[in-house]
Structure 1
Amino acid sequence: METALGEGGAAIFFVLVALIALTAVRLTRSYRRWERYLPTVLFMIFCSMLYYFLVRGRLLWEYTPATWVTHWGAELLLSFVVFPCTVLLLLDLLPRSGGKLRLARYLLNWSFVYLLTEQVALQMHFMRYHRGWSFGWSVFFVCTMFLILYLHHRCPLAAYLATVGLIVLYMVWFRIPFPIFLQAVE
């Protein structure tokens, strides 16, 4: 489907998102404390890559390919540029006081930014859903993602347990066979 940006619009969109993320990290100087946040950066990259291993071609969402960028190109740009920038910004700008309500508002603001970006990608046809995934599921996913990233920074074990629980929920709900059982099925 053709968009206002033309055939290469999806590539331009994802490169623009990456440039905005890199600029935000530069302006806030969050990169100076990268070592403090590296475990959570790696956790987010790992979870992104784990998604592709677990679904094995049964994608729940997909970035629309263009002539010079594929779904995988967009995903690699997001996983290795945008997501690390997100974690650096999220954790470095974390409110140090104000209690749980302020923290909840902060995480919801991050969720809003991600969901707004996704909504633009959907409206511009740079992204599509499969297998029953919907924007409602994205709202749930993104909100829990930011909560788990915060949790990983504070208590990694709790984040790992919550992540395993969510993975099982998604795989059962969307009827995605667990990879360990795929050889018997295929």
Structure 2
Amino acid sequence: MNALYGGLWLLAMVLWGDLKRWKKYYPTLLFFMIGDFLYLYLLSDHFPLWTYNPQGIDEIIGITNTHVTLSIMFVKYPATTFIYLAKFPETGRFMQILYGTGWVGLYTLNEFIDRKLNLIVYDNGWNFYWSILFNVVMFTILRIHYCRPLVAWGLSILFILFLWNIFNVPSEVFR
């Protein structure tokens, strides 16, 4: 399943991503990846909110939560960044909201399928509705980062602190 997802995201990136101008989107891609690296490093072992649960051949060949997370970071996130930012409507607030909502819907549908196939497991109070909120915030902040990076960093820190408090993340995650 991991290879199937990766292949689909690579195909999407080739078909619709602005690969010629990748340098334009690179800072936002790194911003995107840093967030997931922080989650992986700080929380995934000691206080996971979600964990990827490889099934079938992925499980047989020893794919782990970390492998899935890294493949998402190195395949899905570049594809998302190079398509989402390149195709983002420059004018018309309604079209921008509709476009962002479409991406939130795509990520939410992906997670819904993962839940039905038991490819992702929620822990410590996280649930599907939190994922929807997270997707809304994530896509909003990605666009903000592309236009105004420092504002995006500030908003991200505030959102992290909000989640940290809501889920009572223990200080022991800092190792």
- Normalising by structure 1, what TM-score? 0.86
Pairing 1:57-96 to 2, within 5 Å after superposition: 57-65=46-54, 66-68=59-61, 69-96=63-90
Identify the range of structure 1 (51-60 vs 126-135) with the bigger mean alpha-carbon deviation.
51-60
Q: Write the distance in 2 (CA, Å) between the matches of 1:175 and 1:53.
A: 17
2:42 is matched by which residue type in structure 1?
Answer: L
**Structure 2: gaps of 5 or more residues:** none
1:121 lines up with 2:114 in the alignment: yes
C-alpha root-mean-square deviation of aligned residues, in Å? 1.5
Partners of 1:54 and 1:178 within 8 A in 2: no
1:67 Cα offset (Å): 2.4
- Runs (4+) of structure 1 exceeding 4 A deviation are none
Any idea what the Cα deviations from partners look like across 1:66-106, whole Å, max 9, x if unmatched?
A: 22211111001001111111011100111122x21111110
Pairing 1:2-17 to 2, within 5 Å after superposition: 12=1, 14-17=2-5
> Match of 2:20?
32
Q: Write the distance in 1 (CA, Å) between the matches of 2:9 and 2:112.
A: 17
Q: The residue matched to 2:118 in structure 1 has which SS?
A: coil
Partners of 1:95 and 1:103 within 8 A in 2: yes
Partners of 2:25 and 2:82 within 8 A in 1: yes
Partners of 2:145 and 2:153 within 8 A in 1: yes
Q: Write the distance in 2 (CA, Å) between the matches of 1:36 and 1:147.
A: 18
Q: The residue matched to 1:176 in structure 2 has which SS?
A: coil
Q: Write the distance in 2 (CA, Å) between the matches of 1:117 and 1:127.
A: 11
**Structure 1: gaps of 5 or more residues:** 1-11
> Match of 2:39?
51
Percent identical pairs in the alignment equals 30
Q: The residue matched to 1:166 in structure 2 has which SS?
A: helix
> Match of 1:154?
147
Q: The residue matched to 1:96 in structure 2 has which SS?
A: coil
Q: Write the distance in 2 (CA, Å) between the matches of 1:16 and 1:57.
A: 29
1:182 Cα offset (Å): 4.7
CA distance 1:166–1:178, change in 2 (3 Å): farther
1:53 Cα offset (Å): 2.6
Q: Write the distance in 2 (CA, Å) between the matches of 1:20 and 1:177.
A: 37
State how many pairs are aligned: 169
Any idea what the Cα deviations from partners look like across 1:91-136, whole Å, max 9, x if unmatched?
A: 0111122x21111110010000000000000000111100010111
Partners of 1:171 and 1:178 within 8 A in 2: no
2:133 is matched by which residue type in structure 1?
Answer: F
Q: Write the distance in 2 (CA, Å) between the matches of 1:29 and 1:176.
A: 36
1:57 Cα offset (Å): 2.2
- Normalising by structure 2, what TM-score? 0.91
Corresponding residue to 1:173 among 166, 169, 174:
166
1:175 is matched by which residue type in structure 2?
Answer: N
Corresponding residue to 2:102 among 82, 89, 109:
109
